[in-house]
Amino acid sequence: MKKTSKVIISLLLIISLISGLTGVSYATGALTTGNSSMMVGVGKADITGPITKISTGYNSLGDLISGLTTRLYARAFIAQEKGGKPVVYCSAELVHMTESIKPAVIKELNARGLTQYTEENVMLSATHCHSSTSNTSWYALYDLINGVPGYDDDSYKIIVQGIANAIEEADKDLAPGKIVLSYGQTDIESANRSISAAQWNVNYKDYGYSKLTDIEQALKNPNKEMQVLRFMHGNDDIGMLSFFASHGTSNGMDNRLLASDHKGYACLFVESAMGGDYVAANCQTASGDISPNLPDPKAEAITDAFLRPADRFKNLDAIENQVYAGQQEADAMLRLLKGGSGVTTIELSGPISVNYSTADFSNISVDEKYIGEYHMPYDDVANAKTTEPCIGAGLIAGDEEGAPVDNATEGSVRHNYYLDDNGNVQVEKVNFADTISLYGLENLMGPIWPTAMKLLQSDSYDDAQMEKVVCLAVGKLMQKNQPLQLIRIGQLAIAGVSFEITNEQGYRTVAQLEDTLSAIGVEKVILSTHSNAYSQYVTTREEFAAQHYEGATNLFGPWTGPAVTQELDRLAQDMVKGVASDKGPGLRNSAPLLLIPTYTSILSPSADKNNPGKLVTDTEKSYTNNNWVYATFESANPRHVAKLQLADPDALTDYTYMEVQKYVDGKWVTIKTDIDPYTTISFDTKANTATVGWLLRGVEDGTYRLVYNYITKTGDGSLLSGLVSRLDTNTNSYVEGTVTSSPFTIGKATVPSDATTPDKNDSTVDSAVVDKTPGGNEGSIPGLDNDILDKLVGIIGDGNVNDVLDKIQSGNISDLIKDLGSDKVDQIKDLLGSDNISSIISGIQNGGNISDILDNIFGNINLPDINVPSNGGNTTKPDATDKDKDTTTKPSVKPDSSTSDIGSDIADQIEDKIVIDDNSPLAGLDETESDSLTIKDTTPLGSNDSALDSGDKELIANTSDNVAPATIAFLVSTISAAGAVLVATKKSK
């Protein structure tokens, strides 16, 4: 076992050197010129808006956003045949693409002279990011049930403005090019959070899960195919549009910082990896019951709360939940972009066409052919019909990801239908007293309870909603008409719907559309959910009967799923015929006369009367990695930023709330801004303070400082002044300022005597150099996936471990590389990821020590300094302005026998110095020992070949039944504050 550990540790370093010689790049292979008649363009714009006193789509009454960790963006993609009309797909990092946004975007584009863009050829979608802003609907339902009830016009206008900016930028970018579709299966972690409801589907038995536990089924059930559209100008990559089903809930309900969640992180990472002005969007498909979080293996029931990465890995901070999940999606996006084994690639050849319609979903008769076998035994299929939108009391049970209420067992709040012995339909009504607490409903509905039940006639739709226990009819609080849209680009069609659709219903809808559209050469249909509007969930008929959270919020009744399929198929059939579908009843295209604003947005904020910029709490003098750095300042009202942005859209083009600066060669250089997922700014609006935070992961030694950029407002602060400024477009009353913390050091650095703290306008500040790589120097994510070592061993071959180690120890590196072959080297490079490889190369070349190098990649390893001789080279990042230019300086010393010092000796030192943290899992023992255990005492790992010294450690978990004892490779992975965590991967016999 110890030999295997040396091999893996050594291989990580050697493959890094190999990669340094061969180059590390995400550049993709060239394709043919393609359809020369196609024009493509991409664009990106900020849509962040207010960051305080506003709701997300994932909180309870009174829970408000109070700051920012990552900004929000809109990303637009345009395709057009020469002489034809363009089609637009724009992805926005929002929880809901409320029905109010698209008509305003179209109006804004038309006002700018871009009249070619209409509701028919523009599709807007939301990533369903639950840590983004809400309060933008023209209807009461989605504005009332929020952290703060009401409508926020500032947020709304900035979102509209930003989406229009992204589309306009994409329009300006139009040039001859091509689009390539790639799709394939991934190993991204996800789980069906309502597997108990999915088990009701009549075809569920076809999946062959009968011998699996509920948790295993939940992990296996999701559709893990990802689709990627590669946009190119000639042979140059300019952007990527990817689709993958995963709820935007990586950040928990107690998060109070605006963030783009894991899909946003994936976009930032891919854009950084590709360089230049590359635009990467990561969109939703049928994710209604699909979570990026995983069930708790210790939970009493599968319906218990799922675990986020920080719950599973104690070394992770909660802020890294979106990083962990996002990195997996980013890696899959880049892999599919490259193509290769397991990836289907189609160069789209045109033609480009669209079809758009609307339908009143409260009154759709569903044809039996769209139902087929998928119904309950007691259903009257011949008279299937949708109904008035109603919320079910079943939502009071919450969902597995921590919904706002938890007053019943999920699935228990339902009317029970069945056939008696004579074949007659019977129903047992729910007993409220035994099932739920109405206290939860009162909290949920807040100001519209209890009179809402009578005013909205909530007891009138029980029969039509069948199993649903109707608690609130909402037809007067939301739009009943729903948009439906098809965009076809040659062999591909994108179907846009306003709902969030469950995994199984997504399969059924896509299958029908692919069957219909195959007549005109469409090979692939992508279901784009959360598009053009928002109207809650759509489940299968059977899942609706189960009345879990998704079924309770499937508003239009039990037949909504087949109705969605039928209405989209209507558009598909018309597209095959070459005719436009009837536009239907249409959607509201202007705001109502009366919108109830939130109390925070009704008036412009008063003038600041405190002392914005004053340093309240300074940083410490020095820090080490894996700790937080904070500085607190007196703040201006952050709402001023949004007000100024609206008054003068060009005033804040490069504005950032905070910065991290590093002292380099006599100048302060901005290395991070509020784009970075490891930085935060949070506001205490009562105390008028702003706290700037930075989580240190793999940061280089040096001198740093935190910066707060504020915009303050002058005036007398009176109510009259506030009322006047609401209509005042004069921007002179806003003043921008900057304040910094004292310099502090990280690692072994000392503060230079000339490192003062000037204004950012001072000549010693260089803000042109910004590290836009998410997370900076720390590598792809803090910690490796638990199965990465298993994969490494699989690549080199289990039987070759001793031979590989011998070559490392003897210095025969050239023979090792030759034996592995370029194919295996490439596999290992792909597995490690370019960030990890680059970090190792840089550390080795610059004479670093193994402890720090591995710290930067895998966490804070408790090791002595083990110095590596410098190779004399220097690695620089690729020029951000030229994504096709590789500016990486190659190592000046080839990996010869001298690199054997980076092998077994270091592995020995690492293994002998590892400290096991309390309650840390250690999987993988020798042949004679158990396969799963936990170490209770913090004890150094001995140098013997066995992983354990049984005398001073307590075994508290036994062998798993389905994992055989095995000889297993292990490696240091991630670290908690108390010491190193040793993680071994299981390789069954």
DSSP string, 200-239: TSTTGGGG--TTS-HHHHHHHSS--EEEEEEEEETTEEEE
Residues whose CB is less than 8 angstroms from the CB of residue 206 and which lie 6 or more positions away in sequence, other chains included:
none
Q: Is the pLDDT of residue 418 over 90?
A: yes
Helix (H, G, I), strand (E, B) or coil at 42: strand
Per-residue pLDDT tens digits for 654-713: 899 999 999 999 999 999 999 999 999 999 988 999 999 999 999 999 999 999 999 998
- Residue in the structure block whose two tokens are 């007053």: 407
Candidates 149, 126, 98, 125; CA nearest to 479 is 98
Q: Is the pLDDT at 565 greater than 90, yes or no? A: yes
Q: What is the mean pLDDT of residues 273-296?
A: 96
- Give the tens place of pLDDT for each residue, 522-536: 999 999 999 999 999
Q: How far apart are CA 473 and CA 898, in angstroms?
A: 75
Residue with tokens 């450690």: 953
Predicted local confidence at residue 411, as pLDDT: 83
Structure confidence at residue 599 (pLDDT): 78
Q: What is the pLDDT of residues 767-805, one digit of tens each?
A: 444 555 565 433 333 333 445 555 666 676 655 555 665
pLDDT of 627 reads: 96
Residue of 670, 922, 672 lying closest to 786 (CA atoms): 922
Give DSSP secondary structure letters for 491-548.
TEEEEEESSEE-HHHHHHHHHHHHHHHGGGT--EEEEE-SBSS---EE--HHHHHHT-
What pLDDT does 931 receive?
Answer: 34
Distance CA 152, CA 112 (A): 24
Residues pairing with 482 in the sheet:
359
Q: Map tokens 């890294």 to a residue.
A: 320
- Closest to 176 measured CA to CA, from 91, 238, 240, 115: 238
- Mean pLDDT across 902-929: 36
Are the beta carbons of 603 and 577 closer than 8 angstroms? no
Residues 6+ apart with CB under 8 A from 138: 98, 99, 100, 151, 588, 591, 592, 595
**pLDDT recorded at residue 71:** 96
SS3 content of the chain, % helix, strand, coil (to 5): 30, 20, 50
Give the H/E segment covering residue 72: none
Residue reference for tokens 């109390």 = 599
pLDDT of residue 860: 41
User: How high is the pLDDT of residue 598?
Assistant: 85
pLDDT at 611 over 80: yes
pLDDT computed for residue 294 by the predictor: 95
- 676's enclosing H/E stretch is none
The pLDDT-based confidence of 403 (bands split at 50, 70, 90) is: low
Q: Give the percent of the chain with pLDDT over 70.
A: 67
User: Tell me, what's the pLDDT at 718?
Assistant: 56
Highest average pLDDT, of 51-65, 446-460, 548-562, 706-720, comes from 548-562
Residue with tokens 């930003």: 162
Residue 422: the pLDDT is 94
Region 149-167: mean pLDDT is: 95
Which residue in 873, 603, 590, 599 sits closest to 19, CA to CA? 873
- The whole-angstrom separation of Cα 134 and Cα 143 is 8
Q: Residue 616 — φ and ψ, nearest 5°?
A: -95, -50
On the question of pLDDT at 765 being above 70, the answer is no
Query: Strand pairing partners for 500?
Result: 537
The residue-averaged pLDDT of 464-488 equals 93
pLDDT one-digit tens code per residue, 923-965: 333 323 333 333 333 333 333 333 333 332 222 222 232 222 2
With the CA atoms of 750, 754, 758 and 760 taken in that order, what torsion angle do they form, in degrees rounded to the nearest 10? -80
Q: What is the pLDDT of residue 957?
A: 25
Task: Write phi, then psi, for 580 (nearest 5 degrees).
Answer: -85, 140
Instruction: Detail the DSSP E strand segments found in 244-385.
Output: 257-258, 279-283, 290-291, 344-347, 352-360
Rg (CA), the chain: 29
Under DSSP, the state recorded for 416 is: E
The span from the CA of 838 to the CA of 828, in Å, is 14
The residue-averaged pLDDT of 468-492 equals 94
* Run of H or E including 264: helix 261-274
Lowest mean pLDDT among 57-71, 242-256, 318-332, 695-709: 57-71
- Terminal alpha carbon distance of the chain: 15
Task: Look up residue 723 and give its amino acid.
Answer: L
Cα–Cα distance measured from residue 67 to residue 63, given in angstroms and rounded to the nearest whole number: 13
Query: Which of 497, 728, 520, 657 has its CA nearest to residue 66?
Result: 657
For 577-599, the pLDDT digits (tens) are: 999 999 999 999 999 988 888 87
**Residue 975, CA atoms < 13 Å, CB-side half-sphere:** 23
Coil, strand or helix at 166? helix
Q: What is the pTM of this model?
A: 0.76
Q: How far is CA 963 from CA 931, 932, 967, in A?
A: 7, 9, 12
Q: CA torsion, points 47, 50, 51, 55, in degrees to nearest 10? A: -100
User: What percent of the chain has a predicted confidence (pLDDT) above 90?
Assistant: 55
Q: What single-letter DSSP state applies at residue 74?
A: E
Least confident residue range of 13-17, 856-860, 909-913, 923-927: 923-927
Please, which pLDDT band fits residue 853 given cuts at 50, 70 and 90? low
- Which residue in 641, 601, 646, 598 sits closest to 158, CA to CA? 646
What mean pLDDT, rounded, does the chain reach?
78
Residue 362 C-beta-side C-alpha neighbours within 13 Å: 14
- Helix, strand counts (H, E) of the chain: 25, 39
Beta strand pairing call for 257-258 and 279-283: unpaired
Task: State whether residue 975 is helix, strand or coil.
Answer: strand
Tell me the H-state helices in 518-657.
Answer: 541-546, 549-552, 560-577, 639-647
Query: Mean pLDDT throughout 536-555?
Result: 96
- pLDDT digit string, tens, across residues 620-661: 999 999 999 999 999 999 999 998 998 888 888 889 999 999
Task: Say how many CA atoms lie within 13 Å of 899 toward its Cβ.
Answer: 26
* Mean pLDDT, residues 859-883 taken together: 32
The predicted structure's pLDDT at residue 67:
96
| pLDDT tens figures, 893-905 | 222 323 223 334 4
Q: In angstroms, what CA-CA distances link 885 with 271, 276, 653? A: 15, 10, 27
Quote the CA–CA distance of 321 and 310 in Å, as a whole number.
6
Residue 539, number of CB atoms within 10 A of its CB: 33
Burial class (CB in 10 A: 0-12, 13-18, 19+), 655: middle
Residues 6+ apart with CB under 8 A from 771: 671, 672, 676, 777
One DSSP character per residue, 747-758 reads TT----TT----
* Cα gap 735→294, rounded to integer Å: 47
Q: What burial class does residue 599 get, using C-beta atoms within 10 Å of its C-beta: 0-12 exposed, 13-18 middle, 19+ buried?
A: exposed
* Vertex 614: Cα angle to 613 and 616 (nearest 5): 125
User: Which sign does the torsion angle of CA 444, 446, 450, 454 carry?
Assistant: negative
Q: Give the amino acid at 495.
A: A
pLDDT tens sequence across 221-246: 999 999 999 999 999 999 999 999 99
